[in-house]
Amino acid sequence: METTLRTDITVAAICDGFVYNELEGKGLYGLSGKLVIQPEYQRNYIYADQGGKREKAVIHSLLKGYPLGLIYFNKVGEDRFEVLDGQQRITSIGRFVTNKFAISDERGNPQYFDSLPKDKQEKILQTRLLIYECEGTETEIKEWFQTINIAGVPLNEQELLNAIYSGPFVTLARAEFSNSGNANIHKWRAYIRGSANRQDYLRTALDWVSKGDISGYMSQHRYDDNIDELKTYFNTVLDWIESVFPFEEVPSEMQGLEWGRLYETYHSNAYDPKKVMEDVQALYEDPYVRKKSGIFEFILGGKADPSLLEVRVFDEAVKKTVYARQTKEAEEKGISNCPLCAIGHDANKCRIYKYNEMDADHVTAWSKGGKSTEENCQMLCITHNRAKGNK
């Protein structure tokens, strides 16, 4: 890979012909059309997130004459370049000089580029950026792109995969799942955590359809000219969730569950949505259920595994009281303080366990209506407690 350091390119030149695509959240072109700012393998523009703190900082740096750091161009042809690193900074500058956002002046008043005094406008436009032009094979460039430590926000795993497997499939998939203008996002957000910009919907869709083998799937479909399977599978999972749990308002605990795995495991079972919703409501109201997000899989699994719900356990005071009572009675009778050991026939028949050798057990299981109260508590040795299971 060959590199040439350029110090002659001004902000004015970079921003000549700058186009920002509002819909895709991308800076597209600069340098009079010779520069592609966001090639396919690049991430979306994120400097406008969080109230635009980062993009404003870029402009303040220019005005104060602070260095913006190195920018890397990939030379893809005679007089044709792609931004390899620096697209967030360049997009910030391009957006500012095209009046897409304002900065605050010394008095805290918002100032768009056009409303800045001429000398400040010139200062920005005449700033020279430090640019490395790199020339190499696609493989060299992409390998290098993976290894450079991008200042500010590091690429996350899905952004890296988009870079590695760039091609028609990623282009189409991003247009669907990484576009924050997609009207379906409000629906996706109920079940999936994250944002379109950081590729969370794309990652989830790929995770579901590939059963967890995202890179394998991307590699296999890299040159596909459609994303039909990806889209269909994704929508099938969402439709299934909505048919089993027909909420009018989806509770927040449903967000971020492993819906792909749950769909694969349970979608061939039949559920009565009316009964399901009654069960959901009862469990939401049950003060013993500590992990509300476990309710959905608990119900899908036929209410067989209460450990999903992290049912409230006995508090320390209750356990100590019950331990003291059981131990006193056992010592008087000369039997073990574990009631199950006491009725056994082995060497532990008369063993008195220490407090930390025992654990609390629900006499009547929570799933059968038993509460975590002193009356429903018995202390068992750890072996017997485990054998009885966490019911």
Identity of the residue, 196 or 338, whose beta carbon is nearer to Zn ion in the bound complex: 338
The phi-psi region of residue 45 (left if phi > 0; otherwise alpha if psi is between -120 and 50; otherwise beta) is beta
Q: Decide whether 179 or 326 has the Cβ nearer to Zn ion.
A: 326
Give least dist CB 351 to Zn ion, A: 8
Secondary structure element (H or E) that encloses residue 29, with its range: strand 26-30
Question: Between residues 75 and 384, which has the closer beta carbon with respect to Zn ion?
Answer: 384
Q: Under 8 Å CB-to-CB from 47, ≥6 apart: which residues?
A: 54, 55, 58, 88, 89, 91, 92
DSSP-H helix ranges across the chain:
11-14, 49-64, 87-97, 118-126, 138-147, 157-164, 168-177, 185-188, 200-209, 214-221, 228-244, 259-266, 273-285, 295-300, 316-333, 339-342, 382-388
Instruction: Give the nearer residue to Zn ion in terms of CB position, either 205 or 341.
Output: 341
| Residue among 311 and 358 whose Cβ is closer to Zn ion | 358
- Nearest approach in angstroms of CB 337 to Zn ion is 9
Near Zn ion in 327-386, by CB under 5 A: 338, 340-341, 381, 384
Q: Single out the residue of 232, 214, 302 nearest to residue 266, CA to CA.
A: 302
- List, in order, residues 6 or more apart from 202 with CB less than 8 Å away: 158, 162, 173, 174, 177, 178, 196
Smallest separation, CB 155 to Zn ion (Å): 54
Residues 159/38, Cβ–Cβ less than 8 Å: no
Shortest reach from residue 374's CB to Zn ion, in Å? 20
Query: Which residue lies nearer to Zn ion by CB, 57 or 340?
Result: 340
| Minimum gap (Å) between residue 315 Cβ and Zn ion | 22
Compute how many residues bind Zn ion; rule: CB under 5 A. 5
**Cα-based angle 13, 16, 18 (whole degrees, multiple of 5):** 125
Q: How far is the CB of 339 from Zn ion (least distance, A)?
A: 8
Q: Which is nearer to Zn ion, 202 or 380 (CB)?
A: 380
Give the number of C-alpha atoms closer than 13 A to the C-alpha of residue 155, restricted to the C-beta side: 22
Q: Which residues have C-beta within 8 Å of that of residue 63, sequence separation ≥ 6? A: 120, 123, 124
Q: Cβ of residue 325: shortest distance to Zn ion, in angstroms? A: 17
Which residues contact Zn ion (rule: CB under 5 A)? 338, 340-341, 381, 384
